[in-house]
């Protein structure tokens, strides 16, 4: 027990020391990092120890760098697989055999590597027929005459039958006086191929030619072998060199494309391949022909036999492309399914790259690639002949994909960058060419590299199709020429895109017709508004002010036209494109096809802004006056001594009721039928959280939630606008219905509450939005007094509820309290005359009458005078300022214009709809809603951000509400003669 107790502290100390020492243990497993390139000539790289190991005596590193070889003059004596032992050859046998294991005498020259070398046309023999090593090597001559017709093979150790071109040309293995090129023998005469070839590759973007080592070595031999010996590989190699030269034609007939066309014409008797006249037998198909307008006929004559559909049992949305792949030497490598990274240089996940070949999905991928990486990855170019796989059961058919090479030249002119009728369609493309730009040797760094910087595959819908038929797709390629200076710092931008288009002519015509018709109607409506405005201001003259007013009215009406057309267009594309089964419509392309639509949206926003500011200015300058019907009560009079006589002084009427009504009016100036905060939050929630924004993507799917790993196509501006505008307007309309049907009926109706407040306060309101037109709220109390205590007020309200008193209407036995008024010029002149002293007070100081008294006294006198005057007018106390009350005709209400002109009597029109709200935000909700919609959409179209658009729209609403409140309060104080200090 004691021993165990003693061991516990010892074990604890040992454990503590082991923890202190433990970090050092990890360093024991560290090794030195070495690469094969770090090993010198005397060391090889040991793949087991991952380090450089010294070779044995008389040894050096092998060519691979992963083993050792004997030095010159030494043979391999023994080997165990991991190491070797070397022994020096004796003087009588100084050479080493080809296998490195024996020593031998040479009949001729000894090479630098210590092996025997035979003269040209001889093979080296080091063993007899039984395999026994010879004492002295022999050089045997290959018999190049008939019937042997042999020559040394590439290794120089065996006689084999010589190449067919030598036999056909010279009946031996010696070319002699014939033409030797590329290891082939050609007859010297009667060749349509010129011997003086042009090995230059023209880099038009850099305006420099490069004498290509590849062309210099292979151009003539490929052309001659193709023509003379019908060598299929040579024909493909010649076609590839023409592709490297961008399919370009010139007056020079001895360049790559010139030689191809020479052979094409010379072999016309051979006919065509696959029943395609442009595809000559034995030659690659490079051109469609040079007839004018051929491109249009190829691209828009015969549609594909299969149609595309997005939904249903017959769903077919896959674009199946295959490609025949060739090497630079003309060898056929394989058939490849186009869908991975074979045509797409930008690295990406296979699932995202596959989205490029889903019909209707606009695909766009752009990246920046390092030149050094491209040089390392693409030592030789690959060439692609792309086809559409029609796949009709067992009879699998392929349709060639026409190519438009934007770098193709014809006599120095880029022919495929202009009118489509002048295009020269071609076949076969390459992606990266680091071979033709090698100037000095094929092993040197290229002087220029050429890369397909832009590849676009375009599909065009057949006009009027209901089955998703399209014309043959077009492959458009643009190449960039890069002058190699410092590959490690150089980079190039590349892109790959797939787009879909349809003829938009019919849609543009229909839009223009709708714009013309509705624009004409808006002109007539604006003229009616202008005529109504002229009548309401009481001016029969037509001047510049009238023209300006017409333009302002027309701006608002035309803005509505543009808004209806653009919103309808966006909604049309959103519904019909996303909901279609068989493809019948395709979205307008970004850029030119969307430019007209964006212009219409901009016009709608600009014109609606003009209308909104016009209405805002009118509301901020409206004339308003509160008519106080309250009179002093007789029993409240008191005696006052003056000049020795006793006078009765009536108790003053309280002004607080007027202040209270003024504050309530000030409060409802910015009341709206919707909640702007809820509007912004709800629309943003639907777009960003629920995922409605996904409906604006340029693909045919209606999924609201997308996987982060899947490809997300770019947004369509038309769909984005249509979606945002529809959601904003629908949310606004839903709010308006809710406020009208439920909130105003069961919760609170501030407009009608204000009318009730006027009646309880015994105050009427006269609002003049025009010189001779405005609104009147009759607030005269049926109880005679409103300046009373709580008990009397409750009693009055109870009597009114029990119908024990008269009705509130202006006319006896009526309830109508709100009116539209057309006043005579005489009444307006008297109104202005009363306020004239105040106008002089607010004008220049030289116009102010010093004897008129203090400004406050002037305001008080003007207020009392105006109050008595308007009260007497309402009470019919002025014979020359009488008025009549009538209903508006239906047509008058529809067009917003009064047919009767108030010549001798003013006209009060019964107005149960409380249209005095037209000079408030409340009555202009349609204008505000459309303005907010356009503001939100314009910001989003510019920034492509619904969040930013929502923030700026909300800020704009707050700003204009602040302006309306601030300036409206100042106007209220000036026009009602209520001290602004009492306006809260």
Instruction: Write out the DSSP string of 666-710.
Output: HHHTT--SS-HHHHHHHHHIIIIII-GGGGGBSSS---SS--TTS
Name the β-bridge partners of 405: 477
- Residue 439 belongs to what domain range? 294-504
Query: Is 148 inside any structural domain?
Result: no
Gap between the Cα atoms of 355 and 579, Å rounded: 20
Number of domains in the chain: 1
Give the distance, in angstroms, between the CA of residue 933 and the centroid of all CA atoms in the same chain.
21
- Cα angle: 58, vertex 62, 63; to 5 degrees: 145
Class of residue 41 by CB neighbours under 10 A (exposed 0-12, middle 13-18, buried 19+): exposed
- Strands 491-501 and 448-460, sheet pairing: parallel
Gap between the Cα atoms of 550 and 544, Å rounded: 10
Asked if 86 contacts 76 with a C-beta cutoff of 8 angstroms, the reply is yes
Query: Is 358 inside any structural domain?
Result: yes
- Separation in Å, CA 378 to CA 11, 372, 375, 446: 64, 10, 6, 12
The DSSP H or E segment spanning 827 is: helix 825-842
Contacts for 552 with CB less than 8 Å, ≥ 6 apart: 610, 611, 614
Asked if 339 contacts 321 with a C-beta cutoff of 8 angstroms, the reply is yes
Gap between the Cα atoms of 820 and 877, Å rounded: 21
Tokens read off for 825: 């010029």
Give DSSP secondary structure letters for 553-618.
HHHHHHHHHHHHHHHHHHHHHHHHHHH-SB----PPPTTHHHHHHHHHHHHHHHHHHHHHHHHHHH
Query: Is 337 inside any structural domain?
Result: yes
Name the residue among 720, 717, 687 with its Cα closest to residue 704. Answer: 687
Tokens read off for 229: 């010996």
Query: Is 22 inside any structural domain?
Result: no
Gap between the Cα atoms of 794 and 854, Å rounded: 41
- Strands 272-273 and 276-280, sheet pairing: antiparallel
Asked if 52 contacts 43 with a C-beta cutoff of 8 angstroms, the reply is yes
pLDDT at 28: 61
Q: Where are the beta strands (DSSP E) in 8-158?
A: 43-46, 51-54, 59-61, 68-70, 74-79, 84-88, 95-96, 103-104, 109-110, 116-117, 122-127, 133-141, 150-152
Gap between the Cα atoms of 603 and 558, Å rounded: 9
Query: Is 357 inside any structural domain?
Result: yes
- Strands 883-886 and 906-910, sheet pairing: parallel
3 state DSSP class of 386: strand
Gap between the Cα atoms of 473 and 475, Å rounded: 7
Query: Is 210 inside any structural domain?
Result: no
Asked if 100 contacts 75 with a C-beta cutoff of 8 angstroms, the reply is yes
Give the CA radius of gyration of the chain. 48
* Average pLDDT per consecutive 10 residues, the chain (984 residues; last block may be shorter): 44 46 54 84 86 91 89 89 88 90 89 88 87 89 81 82 75 72 69 76 90 92 86 92 92 87 89 87 90 86 89 86 93 89 89 90 94 93 93 76 93 89 92 93 92 95 90 95 93 95 91 94 95 90 91 96 96 93 91 90 97 96 91 58 51 82 92 95 95 92 86 93 96 95 90 91 93 93 76 78 76 89 94 81 50 66 90 90 92 89 92 92 95 97 94 96 94 84 79
Residue located via tokens 């214009």: 897
- Strands 645-649 and 59-61, sheet pairing: unpaired
Name the β-bridge partners of 325: 334, 384
Asked if 280 contacts 273 with a C-beta cutoff of 8 angstroms, the reply is yes
For residue 251, the number of C-alpha atoms closer than 13 Å in the C-beta half-sphere is 2
Gap between the Cα atoms of 118 and 137, Å rounded: 10
Class of residue 240 by CB neighbours under 10 A (exposed 0-12, middle 13-18, buried 19+): buried
Gap between the Cα atoms of 358 and 454, Å rounded: 20
pLDDT at 291: 83
The angle that helices 656-668 and 750-761 make with each other, rounded to 10 degrees, is 170
Query: Is 488 inside any structural domain?
Result: yes
Q: Where are the beta strands (DSSP E) in 773-893?
A: 773-777, 818-822, 883-886
Q: What is the DSSP letter of 742?
A: I
Contacts for 373 with CB less than 8 Å, ≥ 6 apart: none
Name the β-bridge partners of 151: 160
Q: What is the DSSP letter of 162?
A: P
Gap between the Cα atoms of 204 and 181, Å rounded: 29
Residue located via tokens 């912004």: 680
Gap between the Cα atoms of 624 and 920, Å rounded: 13
Name the residue among 587, 574, 582, 561 with its Cα closest to residue 503. Answer: 587
Phi/psi for 70 (5° steps) reads -75, 150
Name the residue among 917, 867, 670 with its Cα closest to residue 762. Answer: 867
Asked if 192 contacts 212 with a C-beta cutoff of 8 angstroms, the reply is no
Tokens read off for 849: 């009458």
Gap between the Cα atoms of 346 and 364, Å rounded: 11
pLDDT at 87: 93
pLDDT at 843: 52
Query: Is 677 inside any structural domain?
Result: no
Gap between the Cα atoms of 381 and 375, Å rounded: 11
């Amino acid at each position: 027990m004691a021993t165990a107790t003693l061991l516990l502290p010892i074990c604890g100390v040992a454990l503590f020391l082991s923890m202190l020492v433990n970090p050092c243990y990890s360093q024991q497993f560290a090794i030195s990092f070495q690469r094969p390139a770090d090993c010198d000539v005397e060391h090889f790289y040991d793949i087991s120890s991952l380090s450089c190991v010294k070779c044995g005596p008389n040894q050096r590193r092998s060519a691979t760098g992963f083993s050792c070889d004997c030095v010159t003059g030494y043979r391999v004596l023994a080997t165990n697989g991991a190491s070797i032992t070397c022994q020096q050859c004796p003087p009588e046998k100084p050479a080493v055999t080809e296998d490195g294991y024996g020593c031998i005498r040479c009949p001729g020259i000894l090479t630098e590597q210590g092996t025997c070398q035979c003269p040209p046309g001889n093979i080296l023999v080091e063993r007899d027929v039984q395999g026994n090593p010879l004492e002295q090597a022999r050089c045997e001559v290959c018999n190049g005459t008939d019937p042997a017709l042999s020559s040394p093979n590439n290794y120089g150790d065996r006689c084999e039958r010589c190449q067919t071109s030598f036999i056909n040309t010279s009946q031996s293995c010696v070319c002699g006086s014939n033409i030797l090129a590329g290891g082939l023998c050609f007859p010297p005469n009667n060749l349509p191929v010129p011997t003086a070839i042009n090995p230059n590759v023209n880099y038009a973007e850099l305006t420099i030619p490069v004498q290509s080592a590849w062309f210099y070595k292979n151009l003539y031999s490929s052309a001659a072998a193709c023509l003379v010996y019908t060598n299929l590989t040579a024909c493909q190699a010649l076609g590839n060199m023409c592709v490297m030269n961008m399919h370009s034609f010139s007056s020079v007939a001895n360049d790559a494309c010139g030689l191809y066309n020479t052979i094409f014409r010379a072999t016309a008797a051979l006919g065509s391949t696959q029943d395609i006249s442009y595809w000559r037998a034995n030659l690659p198909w490079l051109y469609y022909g040079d007839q004018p307008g051929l491109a249009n006929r190829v691209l828009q004559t015969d549609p594909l036999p299969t149609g595309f559909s997005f939904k249903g049992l017959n769903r077919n949305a896959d674009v199946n492309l295959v490609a025949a792949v060739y090497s630079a030497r003309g060898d056929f490598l394989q058939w490849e399914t186009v869908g991975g990274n074979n045509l797409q240089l930008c690295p990406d996940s296979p699932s995202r790259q596959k989205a490029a070949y889903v019909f209707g999905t606009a695909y766009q991928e752009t990246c920046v690639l390092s030149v050094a990486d491209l040089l390392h990855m693409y030592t030789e170019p690959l060439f692609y002949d792309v086809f559409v796989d029609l796949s009709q059961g067992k009879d699998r058919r392929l349709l060639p994909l026409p190519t438009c090479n934007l770098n193709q030249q014809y006599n120095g002119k880029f022919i495929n960058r202009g009118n489509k009728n002048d295009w020269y369609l071609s076949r076969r493309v390459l992606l990266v060419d680091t071979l033709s730009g090698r100037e000095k040797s094929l092993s040197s760094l290229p002087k220029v590299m050429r890369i397909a910087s832009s590849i676009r595959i375009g599909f065009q819908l057949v006009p009027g199709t209901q089955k998703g038929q399209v014309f043959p797709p077009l492959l458009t390629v643009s190449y960039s020429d890069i002058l190699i200076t410092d590959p490690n710092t150089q980079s190039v931008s590349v892109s790959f895109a797939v787009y879909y288009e349809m003829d938009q002519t019919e849609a543009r015509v229909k839009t223009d017709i709708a714009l013309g018709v509705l624009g004409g109607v808006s002109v007539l409506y604006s003229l009616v508004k202008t005529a109504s405005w002229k009548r309401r201001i009481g001016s029969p003259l037509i001047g510049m002010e009238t023209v300006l007013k017409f333009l302002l009215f027309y701006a608002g009406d035309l803005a509505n036209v543009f808004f209806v057309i653009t919103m309808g267009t966006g909604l049309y594309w959103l519904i019909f494109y996303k909901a279609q089964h068989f493809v019948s419509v395709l979205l307008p392309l970004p850029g030119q096809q969307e430019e007209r639509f964006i212009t219409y949206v901009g016009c709608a926003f600009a014109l609606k802004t003009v209308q909104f500011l016009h209405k805002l200015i009118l509301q901020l300058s409206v004339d308003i006056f509160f008519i106080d019907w309250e009179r002093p009560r007789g029993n409240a009079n008191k005696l006052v001594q003056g000049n020795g006589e006793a006078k009765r002084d009536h108790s003053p009427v309280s002004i607080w009721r007027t202040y209270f009504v003024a504050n309530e009016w000030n409060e409802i100036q910015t009341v709206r039928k919707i909640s702007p905060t809820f509007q912004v939050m709800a629309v943003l929630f639907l777009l960003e959280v629920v995922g409605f924004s996904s409906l604006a993507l340029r693909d045919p799917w209606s999924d609201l939630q997308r996987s982060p790993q899947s490809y997300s196509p770019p947004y369509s501006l038309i769909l984005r606008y249509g979606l945002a505008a529809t959601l904003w307007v629908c949310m606004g309309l839903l709010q308006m219905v809710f406020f009208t049907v439920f909130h105003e009926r069961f919760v609170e109706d501030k407009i009608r509450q204000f009318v009730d407040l006027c009646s309880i306060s015994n105050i009427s309101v006269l609002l003049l939005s025009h010189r001779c037109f405005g609104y009147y709220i009759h607030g005269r109390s049926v109880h005679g007094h409103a300046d009373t205590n709580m008990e009397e007020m409750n009693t009055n309200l109870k009597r009114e509820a029990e119908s024990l008193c008269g009705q509130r209407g202006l006319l006896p036995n009526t309830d109508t309290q709100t009116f539209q008024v057309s006043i005579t010029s005489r009444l307006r002149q008297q109104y202005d005359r009363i306020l004239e002293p105040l106008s002089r007070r607010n004008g220049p100081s030289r116009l102010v009458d010093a004897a008129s008294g203090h400004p406050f006294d002037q305001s008080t006198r003007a207020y009392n005078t105006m109050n008595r005057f308007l009260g007497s007018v309402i009470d019919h106390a002025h014979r020359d300022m009488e008025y009549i009350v009538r209903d508006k005709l239906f047509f008058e209400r529809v067009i917003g214009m009064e047919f009767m002109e108030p010549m001798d009597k003013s006209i009060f029109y019964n107005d149960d709809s409380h249209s005095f709200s037209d000079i408030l935000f409340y009555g202009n909700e349609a204008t505000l809603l459309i303005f907010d919609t356009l503001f939100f959409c314009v910001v989003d179209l510019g920034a492509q951000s619904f969040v930013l658009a929502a923030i700026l729209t909300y800020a704009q609403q707050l700003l204009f509400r602040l302006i309306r409140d601030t300036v409206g309060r100042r106007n209220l104080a000036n026009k009602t003669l209520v001290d602004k200090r009492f306006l809260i």
